[in-house]
Copies of this chain bind each other. A is one copy, B any other.
Amino acid sequence: MKSLLRYDRTVTYHHGDLRRTLLAETASAIAEDGVAKLSMRALAKRAGVSNAAPTYHFGDKSGLLTALATEGYDRLAEAMSGVDESGGLIDRGVAYVEFALACPSHFTVMFQPRLLHDDDGELTASRQRAWAALSVGVATTRSGPDSDFGVAAWSLVHGYATLVLSGAVEPEDALRQARIVAGHLVEGADRSR
């Protein structure tokens, strides 16, 4: 009897997969109402556990968001690595925007250090991996004494994603537009090289 129930997560005292569940619920809660209205207690209720359960796993609210940001950096690194390196800068830029629109909660939190334990070990490690994956395409196609072009490319896609997510730019077909937008930069830089 007991052995049968052991793996029934709805009945057992131990949830078994709570950390993952809480991260997922956090992401969707933020996507719905924004980070400001995120409540640890509401989150706990949503996951069907008690008040203090999230605190156990993440220490505090900042810890929860730190974990979410870390997951975000991991996913971003993965997304950037998934693009064929020969695909060119534009494809990589589109992948960046694609990630931001697919994981808006992660993306938002990743760039608000004040919400996080910014010196957390796993966070900085994941962030560094993501930065590395990001700069691959830029560094190989045009190396130079300064990385101003890299900053420009990053600014462009990051700004576009941010503006779309904030509602300032209406995304008729965001990815198509992202491609065109990125094209302006790369095309110009190629000619001026």
Contact = CB atoms under 8 A, between A and B. Distances in A.
Interface of A: 33-37, 111-115, 148-149, 151-152, 154-160, 162-163, 166-169, 177, 180-182, 184-192
Given A34-B115, A188-B189, A160 B168 contact: no
A151 B162 CA distance: 12
B152 A162 contact: no
A159 B158 CA distance: 5
**How many identical chains are in the complex?**
2
Contact of A157 (B149, B159, B180, B182): B159
Contacts of A184: 148-149, 152, 185, 188-189, 192
A159 B148 CA distance: 14
A80 to B, nearest CB: 15
A156 B113 CA distance: 21
Contact of A115 (B36, B115, B192): B36
Contacts of A115: 34, 36
Given A35-B36, A185-B184, A185-B185, A156 B152 contact: yes
Contact of A114 (B33, B159, B168, B186): B33
Contacts of A111: 162-163, 166, 168
20 contacts: A34-B112, A35-B114, A36-B114, A37-B114, A111-B162, A113-B167, A151-B160, A151-B177, A152-B184, A154-B159, A154-B169, A155-B155, A155-B157, A155-B159, A155-B181, A157-B159, A185-B188, A188-B188, A188-B189, A188-B190
